[in-house]
Amino acid sequence: MDELGASVARHVTDVNGPVHFVDFGGGGPAIVLVHGLGGSAINWLGVGPALARSGRTIAVDLPGFGRTPLGGRSARVAAQAEWLARFIESVAAGPAVVVGNSMGGLIAMMAAAAEPALISRLVLAAPAAPSPRARIHPAVLAAFLIYAMPGVGRWYVERRSARLGPEGLVRDMLRMCCVDPSRVAAELRDAHVSLAAERLAGMPWGPAAFLEAARSTVSAITRRRRFYEMARRIAAPVLLIHGARDRLVPLEAARRLARLRPEWTLEVLDDVGHVAQMETPNRFVDAMTRWMDATSAKGRACEEIRTSGWRRAATS
């Protein structure tokens, strides 16, 4: 049985090469969901149907991830941001609300800074961002140091995958990303195991894409001045959603972004880890829809003020 369920459609299209995405349905302005490092469109299965009540909701497999091959494209985050903009143009018929988790949040920020006309609102779920090293979980720090080593990184990723197998890879991912992995729905866990098995069996581009993306993510967030300059250029309204017990991106990283851009909204979810959309999907959807309703109301009020001002000027 397809892990997406009967109400969700899987598609393949061409955006500088083949790309897989899932469409949760819905009408109105598009909502584009962008996964993190090692993730895929199925990371959003727990929230996609609910978000589809607010707009046409699409979750994408970035080049090199999920079922999308690299296909001659780069997995570096800068290239992924350029690619995301083209995806929004061709598939979402932008502008779109873009929701990015972890590395996907960084990619979404880069796209919003570079092409503001394509992104109307931005939801950043634990986005990859500069963090105090002392607050990074030691296991995370050690893994990324290994990824940075030419040859060693590839050997480590392939050896670990072979040793753990699909179920072990998913189990370890959930242990690191969640405060309580048992909160993740069984069908969502099974979908991840199924995709992991598929990737190990027949998607040889996976390790290279993962390492290229991981190294470029680290490069982007360690260049702090450039990162914060990019964040200052974002014109779209932004919601930051961050788990208070995130091991991969400490909460302080989101707080620093909120101090840099005080007009952004920061929603902290207590007792939640790095993937709130998987661990506590109802809380994630509630935070996002409340914010979208509030920003829509504010936008309508501003438009009414502009319109009434124009009318007074026209009649004076």
Question: Could you read off the pLDDT of 227-236 as tens digits, one per residue?
Answer: 999 999 999 9
Q: What mean pLDDT is reported for the chain?
A: 90
How many structural domains are present in the chain? 1
pLDDT (0 to 100) of residue 307: 41
pLDDT value of position 312 = 55
Query: Can you give the residue range of the structural domain that contains 112?
Result: 9-315
Coil, helix or strand at residue 237? coil
Tell me if 2 is assigned to some domain: no
What is the identity of the amino acid at 292?
M
In a domain, 1, yes or no: no
pLDDT above 50 (res 50): yes
C-alpha 138/C-alpha 135 separation (Å) is: 9
Stated pTM of the model: 0.91
DSSP reduced 3-state for 169: helix
**Triad 278, 280, 286: Cα angle to 5°:** 115
In a domain, 257, yes or no: yes
> ω before 130 within 30° of 0 (cis)?
no
CATH number of residue 298's parent domain: 3.40.50.1820
**Residue 240 covered by a domain:** yes
Provide the pLDDT for residue 202. Answer: 87
Report if residue 300 sits inside a domain.
yes
Task: With cut-offs at 50, 70 and 90, classify the pLDDT of residue 134.
Answer: low
